[in-house]
Amino acid sequence: MTADAASGRGASLRASLGTVVRHRGVQLAAALWIGSSVAVLWLAHGSLPFNRPAVATLPFVAQVLGPTIALIEVFVLMVVALVVTRTRRIPDIAARAPERSVAMRETVLLILYAALGQVGGWVVGPALGYRPFSFHLAGSMYGTAMAPRPAEVGVWAAYNFVVFAAVPYLYFRARYTNTELNLRSTDRRNDALLILLVLSIESAVELMFFQKNIFGLTGRQVLVGAPLSFVIFFFGTVLPTMVLIYAILLPRYLRLTGSTITTVLLGGLTYAAMHIVEGWSTFDSPRDIALSLLFVWFQYFGPGMIKSVLTLRTGNAWVHALGYHAIAPHVVVDTPLVVEVFRIT
């Protein structure tokens, strides 16, 4: 690469970052993030009511700053994605969606369907004697005072897979190709490189910040628990996330808004909205409800955005699924939970 070419690409990257910073949606999101942080400080009075054993011993300030630190890492991963894909042909994701009126109808109906699916999980789980179902299994990432039972894990994964992955995929696959659903690579080598880099960075960060991780297990627990964790979370949350949001909704968001930045923001908001009720949430008072919803926004908005960026830059939803979901965190961090649930020794 010549000095002029390197300089030109550097200037292009700086221009892109400048465009992002000036975008009104980004500015609004930043203001909401700051306002939410202030609201947490005002509501919490120095303590959080959540069932999160993995971070319960951390100082209050560390728990409040944690989501912002994680958001900074998301921005780093976005830059990595831009750099790695800078020379490839970026697929036209908007062209994969139908014309605007159809895209609008499909988007609204799918969002309503997803909302009903969430409500169904809140009903089905307790009706069977379990906790309300969310996109994440109770105890995922942060542990829980009472680990799920094996049957609960199986029913949760089956419910999420059928409702949020299988049914939407079968419906839309009858009308669109896998390429139009962002499920086929147009540059396997570049996709593989991006997956490897993102997975390496995210895994290193998680191993640094999550004390309870796969390295705390015995060899046999890893050999049995890691593949089992991969399968459970692959069907219970990875495929539902990939199909519902990044295969189907994301191209329609881009078609309707005409803005990549707005689409990234909407991807983050949608991902957060699919986690309204988490295993660590508490709804015992208006204060607890507000804090729970604020931390859902804190925890999932950033990951939802990087998943959007990875999909938009590659046109391949599998990139985020493998680079930033299935293994990190759900093998790296959640294998100890699976080992505990299934009593693997």
What is the tens place of the pLDDT at every residue in 284-343?
999 999 999 999 999 999 999 999 999 999 999 999 999 999 999 999 999 999 999 999
Q: What's the confidence (pLDDT) of residue 13?
A: 60
Residue 215's CB is within 10 A of a number of other CB atoms, namely: 12
Tokens of 115: 């909302």
How many degrees, rounded to 5, is the angle at CA 46 between CA 40 and CA 52? 80
Q: What's the confidence (pLDDT) of residue 193?
A: 98
Digit-coded pLDDT (tens) for 114-161: 999 999 999 999 999 999 999 999 999 998 888 899 999 999 999 999
Q: List the domain boundaries for the chain.
A: 3-341
Q: What's the confidence (pLDDT) of residue 5?
A: 47
Euclidean distance between CA atoms 218 and 104, whole angstroms: 51
Q: Does this model's pTM top 0.95?
A: no
Type of residue at 134 = S
Q: At 268, is the pLDDT very low, low, confident or very high (cuts 50, 70, 90)?
A: very high
Residue 166, pLDDT above cutoff 60: yes
How many degrees, rounded to 5, is the angle at CA 304 between CA 59 and CA 15? 100
SS (H, E, C) 250-317: HHHHHHHHCCHHHHHHHHHHHHHHCCCCCCCCCCCCHHHHHHHHHHHHHHHHHHHHHHHHHHHHHCCH
- Burial class of 202 by CB neighbour count within 10 A (0 to 12, 13 to 18, 19+): buried
Alpha carbon 230 to its chain centroid, in Å, reads: 16
Q: What's the confidence (pLDDT) of residue 18?
A: 76
| Residue 243 backbone phi and psi in degrees, to 5 | -70, -55
